[in-house]
Amino acid sequence: MKQRNASAPSSIATVERETGFSKDTLRVWERRYGFPRPARDSNDERVYPGDQVERLRVIRRLMDAGFRPGKIVDETLVQLQARLRAAVRILRLQDQLVAAREASREQAMRDALTGLLNRGAVLDALQQECSRTDRIGGSFGVVMVDVDHFKTINDTHGHLVGDGVLREVAARLRACLRTYDSIGRFGGEEFLVIAPGCGTSTAEELAERLRRCVCDTPIMYSGRTLAVTISLGVAAGAGSAARDALLRGADEALYAAKAGGRNRFVRAA
């Protein structure tokens, strides 16, 4: 594609298209600041010299960054470019600060071992889901998960192996969930899953899928093959008023699953 000579004059229509400034704005600036000053081409059409067009492009970028036209329209191109470089550096620093703040916030929400939400963050996710169903109705599922015989794994193979098992279990659970489900490490070897839009039957289906994701394939770690199972308690409901009851129901159902032989899910009464 043939590129236009940057030093060549530009028509008013071209300047409007490339800078976003209307001809009325340019005329106001011409009267108020003496810039830009159009010339006449061989056809007696109003055109803007190339150096003025370049200044207008830089002014547009500075205005997009928050500068007021009265402070910059009468500056030379060199002054404008220096101001633009400074503005770009400031914006880049601001972006870096925002990114660092977001990374710090994200890190504070994460469990260091598994990378899942930590207890506080997953409880926040539960409260958000309660509030959502307060506003628009519907229901959601709560699944409490516990790794069976985890103390035996630690005692037999050591805590490093136990940590590896928790990381793998967490990864398998996360892989079985939808993108808008939430999962966090609730404490020790327990995990909490929040599943929006699930009633009791769909929450049970989710629990069975999670169980099979973990239990169907042994975990290989540090040269060991470990048959790991999980037990799950399932509850479903809606609204902030049901929050504590759902947690309590899922927790009681989890212990019922363990008492019933483990490697299974039980629905809250």
| Residue 156: Cβ within 10 Å count | 12
Picking from 36, 111, 109, the residue whose alpha carbon sits closest to that of residue 77 is 36
How far apart CA 224 and CA 58 sit, in angstroms, is 63
Picking from 152, 176, 172, the residue whose alpha carbon sits closest to that of residue 219 is 172
Please confirm, yes or no, whether 168 is among the known catalytic residues. Answer: no
The catalytic residue among 75, 129, 168, 189 is 189
Cβ atoms of residues 220 and 167 within 8 Å = no
Q: Which amino acid is at 76?
A: T
| CB environment 207-223: b (16+ within 10 A), e (fewer) | beebbebbbeeebebee
How far apart CA 193 and CA 129 sit, in angstroms, is 12
* Strand boundaries in 113-243, DSSP class E: 140-147, 182-187, 190-196, 219-221, 224-226, 230-237
Dig out the tokens for 37 from the structure. Answer: 């000053």
How far apart CA 198 and CA 237 sit, in angstroms, is 9
How far apart CA 150 and CA 156 sit, in angstroms, is 10
Residues annotated as part of the active site: 189
